[in-house]
A and B are shown apart, each in its own frame.
Chain A
């Protein structure tokens, strides 16, 4: 077996194949809960947790689950883990669980999770699958946080609102505010705001990628002929 390129897996998960910005998977929770940064963070972490557990299990059983029943088995695994994670959140993050409401059980339907199980974990060893799950999960969480932060800031003029739901009383005064006279732009909080925000994020990512590609191209062009790999 070829050496596993962990760096590549990580970069792919975080950036090149970011599930939210490139694969456009998991849009239902992505668009629905990102009205504040903390909501995004909460759902992102729950999703990462489920991804890690499901990738590890799927990778562990990849040699002896027959191809014709693998998808139902993956679905069973994912659904069980989501239920378990939901119960744990209800027990230890009761308030946050209340805020995220139906979107925790809906992690089951996040295509990114079964997508990684099928496309990656069922073909790769444990270590690589764990790294992939973390990279994909963190990439997804970051996208949720950026989108959530953007919408919260524009929509209600705050940042870190509700941080105490997640971090306890220490975080009670983490909330930043643009000032009480900021009325907020309702559009940003409403679903269209999520679509517009996500569109802007994708555009920015593509611009950055284009810039990087141009620079790489220049570097190749300036080298003597025959140097390209």
Chain B
């Protein structure tokens, strides 16, 4: 009887040992790189904030003047950090990060800045898994497409034209990739609508320490 079970037990043990070794390896690699990855992402975020609202337009410390929203359906439901830009105590802009939306492949994390007058300051993609060569034209380095959001608002173009051209709207799609821009346009539109309905509350709320803005998407 023992002879019959022995090989199976050994096999199970071998497998268990390798599971432990493998997990340990991943754990060590994670510990060794987590800090650096976080720093990389923070630095990238700082650069992004500067791209969206130019530094001369505000004079406060935007990274400290933040609030955290949780469970807001329009922004993807996860924790969203709102960075508030102000000049002379006047509200200038709010930057939402990350706004999560489904993409063609996996989720896309966006950063969306909106000026106090309701026009888009800028949109960038923080993270995505879209097809290289097609959907990745949403990246500012690959195509100027995403810069086209700047200056738009819910009246310009009118709300029903906040769609890609194929759906009868005003925004270009890409050759070979309609779904990615379609989802992205819809996400920016939702963010704008949320901003208009909650603007006063967003700017008035007491500042809080932000969680790591990338954490919400760590499993994405």
- Cα distance, A61 to B133, chains bound together (Å): 41
Q: Which residues in window 68-97 of A have CB below 8 A to B?
A: 68-69, 72-73, 76-77, 79-81, 83-84, 87-88, 90-92, 94
Interface residues on B, range: 35 or more
Pick the contact of A87 from B11, B30, B41, B44 — CB < 8 Å? Answer: B30
> How many A-B Cβ pairs are below 8 Å?
81
Q: Given A66-B14, A102-B129, A90 and B37 touching (CB < 8 A)?
A: yes
Among B12, B40, B106, B132, chain A packs the most CB atoms within 10 A around the CB of B132
Once the chains bind, are B11 and A66 in contact (CB under 8 Å)?
yes
Q: Give the Cβ gap from A52 to chain B, nearest Cβ, in Å.
A: 15
User: Is B33 on the interface with A (CB-CB < 8 A)?
Assistant: yes
Q: Given A80-B26, A90-B37, A94-B40, A72 and B15 touching (CB < 8 A)?
A: yes
Pick the contact of B29 from A32, A84, A99 — CB < 8 Å? Answer: A84
Q: Could you say which residues of chain A place their CB within 8 Å of the CB of B134?
A: 190
Q: Give the Cβ gap from A182 to chain B, nearest Cβ, in Å.
A: 17
Once the chains bind, are B19 and A84 in contact (CB under 8 Å)?
no
- Cα distance, A100 to B131, chains bound together (Å): 10
User: Is B54 on the interface with A (CB-CB < 8 A)?
Assistant: no
Q: Could you say which residues of chain B place their CB within 8 Å of the CB of A186?
A: 175-176
User: Is A33 on the interface with B (CB-CB < 8 A)?
Assistant: yes
Q: Could you say which residues of chain B place their CB within 8 Å of the CB of A24?
A: none
Pick the contact of B15 from A33, A69, A98, A100 — CB < 8 Å? Answer: A69
User: Is B89 on the interface with A (CB-CB < 8 A)?
Assistant: no
User: Is B201 on the interface with A (CB-CB < 8 A)?
Assistant: no
Size of chain A's interface in residues, with CB distance under 8 A? 34
User: Is B151 on the interface with A (CB-CB < 8 A)?
Assistant: no
- Cα distance, A101 to B131, chains bound together (Å): 9
User: Is A39 on the interface with B (CB-CB < 8 A)?
Assistant: yes
Q: Which residues in window 168-200 of A have CB below 8 A to B?
A: 186, 189-191
Once the chains bind, are B19 and A76 in contact (CB under 8 Å)?
yes
Q: Which residues in window 1-45 of B have CB below 8 A to A?
A: 7, 10-12, 14-15, 18-19, 21-23, 25-26, 28-30, 32-33, 36-37, 40-41, 44
Interface of chain A, main secondary structure: helix
User: Is A35 on the interface with B (CB-CB < 8 A)?
Assistant: yes
Once the chains bind, are B40 and A69 in contact (CB under 8 Å)?
no
Q: Could you say which residues of chain B place their CB within 8 Å of the CB of A204?
A: none
User: Is A4 on the interface with B (CB-CB < 8 A)?
Assistant: no
Q: Which residues in window 134-190 of B have CB below 8 A to A?
A: 134, 136, 175-176
Q: Could you say which residues of chain A place their CB within 8 Å of the CB of B41?
A: 94
Pick the contact of B129 from A64, A76, A92, A101 — CB < 8 Å? Answer: A101
Q: Could you say which residues of chain B place their CB within 8 Å of the CB of A80?
A: 21-23, 25-26
- Cα distance, A126 to B195, chains bound together (Å): 61
Can you pick out 13 interface pairs between chain A and chain B where the beta carbons lie within 8 Å of each other?
A35-B132, A68-B7, A68-B11, A69-B15, A73-B18, A76-B19, A80-B26, A84-B25, A87-B30, A90-B40, A91-B37, A186-B175, A190-B176
B-to-A contact residues, CB < 8 Å = 7, 10-12, 14-15, 18-19, 21-23, 25-26, 28-30, 32-33, 36-37, 40-41, 44, 105-106, 127-134, 136, 175-176
